[in-house]
């Protein structure tokens, strides 16, 4: 039987995202080491999930990846974080780092400005859009995160009237509007409803070619759904970095095995992914 | 049984304490209003104290308050913003110390220092500007403190969101921190105005008093104001002077009441805003 190929072989996806390379990353608070020399590669165009018990340093790691610790006194960061070869602590300016490496927090934090202003404020300050392009930019990013229909009639309105999930999507639109190379997500769906959670997970998968994603998650079924690779941490140390399949099927470290088994009580079978 | 007795004692003590606070306040207000009521007439507003009214004093009080607002707002808010957002730990604590010392200086001393410096050394004589500066020195610490506190109460998550997006500090301040802090800042400003409206001491040596309407000049002319009438006219031996003193006290009280209500409204608005953000 003759099989016609309608669209030829699936076109190789063009990856425009950039890799992030972390070496010997340490964060100290007074005498305490919150991160004890982390080595990890976040490959371009992949989603890396960071998992580990509460307090193991996941948030601390993420915040070190866009220099958010620079603003908190009493924390010392050492080691190197390279975005496509450029050290974000030595070679790049702070504002460039913040533009190119975006962050979404656990709790949505829209600014006390209109919905449209929330989306475009970063793009405008980084010179990515003028005043005239603001509306189109807002529409494009809001469409991308699936919020457009809900807010198109109240772009000038108060973002705090939106539901928690909608607020988080707005924050995602805000982060995407500055065209980041890397997106850091710190348990972005832990306080959200299932619709917003599904929406964000879908976006993470769709964004992969453009943006290198690092996501902290406590939800192993979410990790299974969105991640390509997993970084497992305990007490400020890297335990293992593995392909997502390997992480769940045959983890090399006994601590990983225990963690997966412990958390996996509720974990459904790995789903087929696109 | 014993429990009920203890409860009763506790509530009685509470009521007594409340009565001790509210009682004298109510007594003052009622007494004033009762004494003022019969002499209340448009003449109070249309005539100067020279002619047996309060027009000049009321004008003077309002002009002084406007002057304080114009000076204390930018200075106090600017310093508060600087302390909360830009100063190093050491700078901030030094600044705070200076501000607290300033706040602790008795108002009569502020007035006397103003006299030595402005009226004598600079040769301004008794003047509107001298009075405004003395009052401003007195209330700026409050504005600084309330501005600083209002900014510190803005949720950290908003700061971090702005930082993570690479917004420069001034833009973060303007678009992210100031909107939620604004009602708190304004409340501080209104409280500062209320304090300055009730003061007499800083003005005695700087603005002194005039029974004519306030001058258009900032310098070399004394200015009248309500609290002076209260302070001075009760000592005069005429019934009309006593009536004027009472009326001036009532006007002052009324202005203070307005300002306090305004500050309450602003504070409530501030609370609503932060709750709404749910951060
Ligand atoms: N600014 C800080 N100063 C001191 N210790 C901190 C600071 N931030 C976090 N920690 C500590 O670092 C450890 C790791 O925290 P965190 O990175 O938030 O963990 P996770 O996100 O994995 O739950 C915790 O023990 C926490 O108490
Ligand atoms: Mg965390």
Higher pLDDT, B246 or A216: A216
Min distance B173 CA to chain A CA atoms (Å): 11
For A29, other C-beta atoms within 10 Å of its C-beta total: 13
Q: Which atom of ligand 1 is nearest to the CA of A58?
A: 22
Min distance A97 CA to chain B CA atoms (Å): 8
Taking the C-alpha atoms of residue A127 and residue A141, their distance in angstroms, rounded to an integer, is: 16
- Three-state SS at B105: coil
* Residue B48 in tokens: 């100067």
> Which residue CA neighbors atom 26 of ligand 1 most closely?
A55
Query: Is residue A103 less than 8 Å (CB to CB) from chain B?
Result: yes
Average pLDDT over residues B36-54: 80
Q: How confident is the model at residue A9 (pLDDT cuts 50, 70, 90)?
A: very low
Query: pLDDT tens for residues A229-262?
Result: 999 999 988 989 989 888 888 888 888 888 888 7
What ipTM does this complex have?
A: 0.86
- For chain A, the average pLDDT equals 87
Concatenated DSSP letters of B151-219: HHTS-HHHHHHHHHTT--HHHIIIIIIHHHHHHHHHHHHHHHHHHHHH--HHHHTTT---SSPPPS-SS
Query: pLDDT tens for residues B116-152?
Result: 888 888 888 888 888 899 999 999 999 999 999 999 9
For B79, other C-beta atoms within 10 Å of its C-beta total: 21
Question: Would you say A202 and A172 are in contact if contact means Cβ atoms under 8 Å apart?
Answer: no
Inter-chain contact B158–A112, Cβ cutoff 8 Å?
A: yes
Domain ranges within chain B, ordered by starting residue:
1-39, 42-277
Query: pLDDT tens for residues A12-48?
Result: 567 777 889 999 999 999 889 999 999 999 999 899 9
Q: Nearest-CA residue of chain A relative to B161?
A: A109
- Report the separation in Å between the CA atom of A57 and the middle of ligand 1, taken as the mean of its atom positions: 6
User: Nearest-CA neighbor of A117 among B162, B169, B269?
Assistant: B162
The domain defined by B42-277 carries CATH number 1.20.140.10? no
A–B CB contacts, 8 A cutoff, strictly below:
74
Taking the C-alpha atoms of residue A233 and residue B187, their distance in angstroms, rounded to an integer, is: 48
Q: Nearest-CA residue of chain B relative to A160?
A: B277
Q: Nearest-CA residue of chain A relative to B276?
A: A160
């Amino acid at each position: 039987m003759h099989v016609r190929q309608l669209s030829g072989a699936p076109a190789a996806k063009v990856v425009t995202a950039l890799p992030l390379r972390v070496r010997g990353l340490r964060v100290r608070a007074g005498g305490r080491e919150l991160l004890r020399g982390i080595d990890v590669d976040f490959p371009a165009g992949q989603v890396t999930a960071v998992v580990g018990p509460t307090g193991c340093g996941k948030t601390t790691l993420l915040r070190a990846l866009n220099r958010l610790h620079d603003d908190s006194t009493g924390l010392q960061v050492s080691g190197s974080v390279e975005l496509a070869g450029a050290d974000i602590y030595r070679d790049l300016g702070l504002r460039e780092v913040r533009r190119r490496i975006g962050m979404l927090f656990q709790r949505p934090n829209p600014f006390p400005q209109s919905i449209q202003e929330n989306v475009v404020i970063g793009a405008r300050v980084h010179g990515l859009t003028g005043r005239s392009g603001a509306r189109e930019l807002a529409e494009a990013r809001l469409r991308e995160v699936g919020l457009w229909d809900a807010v198109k009639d109240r772009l000038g309105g108060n973002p705090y009237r939106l539901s928690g999930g909608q607020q988080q999507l707005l924050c995602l639109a805000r982060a995407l509007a500055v065209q980041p190379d890397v997106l850091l997500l710190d348990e972005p769906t832990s306080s959200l409803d299932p619709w917003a959670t599904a929406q964000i997970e879908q976006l993470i998968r769709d964004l992969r070619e453009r943006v290198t994603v690092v996501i902290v998650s406590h939800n192993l079924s979410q990790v299974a759904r969105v991640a390509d690779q997993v970084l497992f941490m305990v007490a400020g140390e890297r335990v293992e970095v593995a392909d997502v399949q390997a992480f769940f099927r045959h983890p090399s470290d006994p601590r990983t095995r225990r963690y997966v088994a412990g958390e996996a009580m509720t974990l459904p079978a790995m789903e087929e992914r696109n | 049984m014993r429990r009920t007795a203890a409860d009763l004692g506790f509530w009685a003590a509470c009521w007594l304490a409340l009565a001790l606070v509210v009682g004298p306040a109510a007594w003052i207000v009622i007494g004033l209003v009762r004494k003022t009521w019969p002499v209340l007439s448009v003449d109070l507003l249309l005539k100067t104290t020279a002619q047996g009214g309060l027009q000049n004093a009321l004008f003077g009080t309002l002009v002084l308050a406007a002057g304080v607002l114009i000076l204390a707002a930018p200075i106090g808010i600017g310093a508060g913003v600087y302390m909360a957002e830009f100063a190093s730990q050491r700078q901030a604590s030094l600044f705070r110390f200076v501000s607290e010392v300033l706040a602790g200086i008795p108002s009569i001393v502020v007035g006397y220092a103003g006299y030595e410096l402005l009226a004598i050394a600079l040769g301004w004589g008794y003047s509107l500007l001298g009075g405004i500066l003395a009052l401003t020195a007195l209330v700026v610490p409050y504005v600084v403190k309330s501005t600083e506190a209002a900014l510190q109460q803005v949720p950290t998550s908003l700061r971090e969101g702005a930082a993570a997006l690479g917004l420069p500090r001034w833009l973060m301040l303007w678009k992210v921190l100031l909107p939620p802090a604004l009602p708190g800042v304004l409340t501080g400003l209104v409280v500062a105005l209320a304090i300055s409206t009730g003061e007499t001491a800083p003005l005695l040596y700087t603005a002194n008093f005039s029974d004519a309407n306030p001058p258009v000049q900032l310098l070399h002319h004394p200015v009248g104001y309500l609290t002076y009438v209260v302070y001075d006219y009760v000592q005069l031996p005429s019934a009309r002077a006593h009536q004027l003193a009472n009326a001036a006290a009532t006007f002052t009280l009324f202005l203070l009441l307005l300002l306090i209500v305004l500050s309450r409204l602003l504070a409530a608005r501030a609370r609503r805003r932060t709750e709404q953000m749910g951060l």
